Every structure is written in structure tokens, then in C-alpha cells.
């Protein structure tokens, strides 16, 4: 059912300032029963920047993404996403905010009874009034962007792990989100495939101007995304190159340790940190 166009939700898609915070966490706490997941977590994500959350398994990284999307509610603290306070919104209100966000889940979370094309076009077809021809055109375009145009009619079960992640990225970007969240997008992939996925993240950020939030414990992938940028050459080809100083400054690392933010800074600051835990994590 095509219920509404994205514009119908009347959300502030264009943020007033070039680097205004797209996400703001202020002293967020969350516990499940007796177990504390997040303690006083505070950070912001600026428009067009990249935020990379590092930490051991179970540190609370993925929970942060779920809080941003409103899939979970914090026990205390405030969360602002795209100008909306999502921690107080109900499910119906959150649907409006989510129309401007995309998320790549850890295992892809593709709808296994839909084809690749149907997965990618799902949001546009079901939740907007976009005509079918335009949806098909956009699906073709984003599948081309991730290099899987010829796989449109296949079921997700017929794809490799890396291809599934790329379809998940294509699905997340299809509706042109302002903010993209990646939950362990490269975990379990071989280094070459992981690099392909990392390149897609960089391309989306730099060519589609999407603010990116990554959760990972794969340092190699995290540094790759932080230190590379995508450029379109004069012949139209996209190339991934070493990022300049300005671009590197726009990628922030956040270390989550036992539910707390134990470090926040750039790739250089992370490398030079004297914190024993960080040094152990990086080694």
C-alpha cells in the first residue's frame, strides 16, 4: 500500500547548518533488568560526518543504533535525531523520522521471501506514493551503485554473504536517507569482501552526502572508512583514494567500554592514545 510520500511527513530534511548535529545523545542510560547496558552516554553526530563506534562484543554498540532508530527506549537521558526527540515519540511518530534514516543490519536482515529487487524497492513501493516505474528505476540505480544490478531477480538465499550486505546497503539507501546506520556491516566477511562493503560506505557518504554511523569491532574496516574518500573522476568513474586532512577530521571514533564512552576523537588521536585499554584494543 503506497500511503504517503516522504514529503508528507513534513520533517526537517534539510538541516539549517552545514554541519549541524544530526544525532545528539545526552546522558543516555539503559538497563535490561539488572544488567546495565549504557551509562551516561553523550555524543553528537554532525551532518555529513562519520561516527564510528568501537568496542568489544556486548559493550552496547548496537544498542546505540537501536536507540537512534527508536527500536528501544532509554531509561533516562535525551536522544535527538534529525531535529526530533525520539526518546519520547510513539511508534507512529517514529515512522516519520525513520523515513529519513536507513539501517544496515548485522546479518543483512533481508526479507527472505522477496527477491533482491523487491527488498531494495520495499520502502519506496510500500511506504511512499512513488509510481512503480520510478521505483523500478531507483532499484536499478542503487543496485548498480553497489554492483549487483544483474542480481535483481534472485532471492537473498542465492547470494553470498558479501552480496547480501551490499543488498542491505542498497535497501537502506534506496529512499535517499539523510542518516545511515551500519551495524557490524563487515563482520564475518573475508577481507576482500569487507573492503568492497567499506567502499560502498565511503561512496555513499561522499557521493550521496549521507551522514554515517558505523558500529564495528573490525579496526581495519573502521580505519579504512575514516581515512579514505570517494571521488568521481572526469570520465564518471568512481575512485576511492586516501582522504585529505579535512575529511579525516570529519570521522570520529567512539570507544564504548562496559556501556560508557571511554574515548572520543579522530583516527590520529585514537592511534596516539596512551590509554592501556585502547592500546590493547588496537594491538
Partner 1 sequence: MNGLRIWAIEAVKKALLEVQEYFRLCIAAFRGVFSRPFYFRDLIEQIDTIGLGSLTVVMLTGFFTGAVLALQSGMTLDQFGARPFVGRLISASMIKELGPVLTALMLAGRVGSGIAAELGSMVVTEQISALRALGTDPVRKLVVPRVLAGFIMCPILTVVADTVGLLGGWIIALTELRVSSGIYWSSVVEGLYIQDVYMGIIKPFFLGVVIVTIGCHVGLRTTGGTQGVGRSTTNAVVAASVVVLIVDFFVTRLLISILF
Nearest to 21 by CA among 42, 43, 52, 44: 44
Size of the site for partner 1 (CB under 8 A): 27
The least distance separating partner 1 from the CB of residue 67, rounded to whole angstroms, comes to 13
Residue 107 lies near partner 1 (rule: CB under 8 A):
yes
The least distance separating partner 1 from the CB of residue 7, rounded to whole angstroms, comes to 14
Tell me which residues in 111-140 interact with partner 1 (CB under 8 A): 111-112, 122-123, 126-127
The least distance separating partner 1 from the CB of residue 223, rounded to whole angstroms, comes to 27
**275 vs 263: CA distance, rounded Å:** 9
Cβ distance to partner 1 smaller for residue 204 or 251: 204
Strands (E), 4-151: 21-32, 35-46, 50-54, 76-81, 84-85, 101-104
256 - beta bridge partners? 261
Q: Which of 95, 195, 207, 240 binds partner 1 (CB under 8 A)?
A: 95
The least distance separating partner 1 from the CB of residue 147, rounded to whole angstroms, comes to 22
Q: Which of 171, 205, 228, 247 binds partner 1 (CB under 8 A)?
A: 171
| Grid-cell match 524497492, residue found | 121
Residue 89 lies near partner 1 (rule: CB under 8 A):
no
User: Where does residue 32 rank: exposed (0-12), middle (13-18), buried (19+ CB within 10 A)?
Assistant: exposed
Retrieve residue 250's grid coordinates. Answer: 570529519
**250 vs 26: CA distance, rounded Å:** 21
Binding mask 6-25 for partner 1 (x = CB under 8 A): --------------------
**158 vs 142: CA distance, rounded Å:** 19
Chain residues in the site for partner 1 (CB under 8 A) = 1, 3-4, 66, 69, 71, 91-92, 95-96, 98-99, 101-103, 105-107, 109-112, 122-123, 126-127, 171
Amino acid at each position: 500500500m503506497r500511503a504517503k510520500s516522504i514529503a508528507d511527513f513534513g520533517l526537517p530534511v534539510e538541516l539549517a547548518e552545514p554541519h549541524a548535529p544530526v544525532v545528539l545523545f545526552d546522558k543516555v542510560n539503559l538497563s535490561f533488568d539488572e544488567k546495565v547496558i549504557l551509562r551516561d552516554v553523550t555524543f553528537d553526530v554532525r551532518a555529513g560526518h562519520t561516527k564510528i563506534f568501537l568496542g568489544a562484543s556486548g559493550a552496547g554498540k548496537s544498542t546505540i543504533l537501536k536507540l537512534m532508530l527508536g527500536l528501544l527506549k532509554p531509561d533516562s537521558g535525551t536522544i535527538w535525531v534529525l531535529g526530533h526527540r525520539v526518546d519520547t515519540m510513539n511508534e507512529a511518530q517514529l515512522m516519520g523520522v525513520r523515513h529519513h534514516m536507513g539501517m544496515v543490519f548485522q546479518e543483512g536482515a533481508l526479507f527472505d521471501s522477496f527477491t533482491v529487487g523487491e527488498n531494495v524497492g520495499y520502502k519506496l513501493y510500500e511506504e511512499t506514493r512513488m509510481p512503480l516505474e520510478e521505483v523500478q528505476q531507483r532499484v536499478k540505480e542503487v543496485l548498480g551503485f553497489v554492483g549487483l544490478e544483474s542480481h535483481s531477480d534472485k532471492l537473498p538465499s542465492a547470494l553470498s554473504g558479501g552480496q547480501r550486505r551490499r543488498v542491505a546497503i542498497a535497501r537502506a539507501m534506496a529512499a535517499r536517507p539523510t542518516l545511515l546506520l551500519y551495524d557490524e556491516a563487515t563482520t564475518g566477511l573475508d577481507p576482500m569482501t569487507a573492503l568492497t562493503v567499506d567502499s560502498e560506505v565511503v561512496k555513499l557518504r561522499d557521493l550521496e552526502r549521507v551522514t554515517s554511523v558505523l558500529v564495528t569491532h573490525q579496526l581495519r574496516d573502521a580505519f579504512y572508512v575514516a581515512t579514505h574518500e570517494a571521488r568521481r573522476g572526469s570520465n564518471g568513474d568512481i575512485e576511492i583514494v586516501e582522504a585529505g586532512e579535512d575529511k579525516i577530521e570529519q570521522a570520529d571514533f567512539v570507544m564504548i567500554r562496559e556501556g560508557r564512552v571511554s574515548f572520543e576523537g579522530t583516527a590520529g588521536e585514537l592511534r596516539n592514545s596512551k590509554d592501556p585499554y585502547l592500546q590493547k584494543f588496537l594491538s
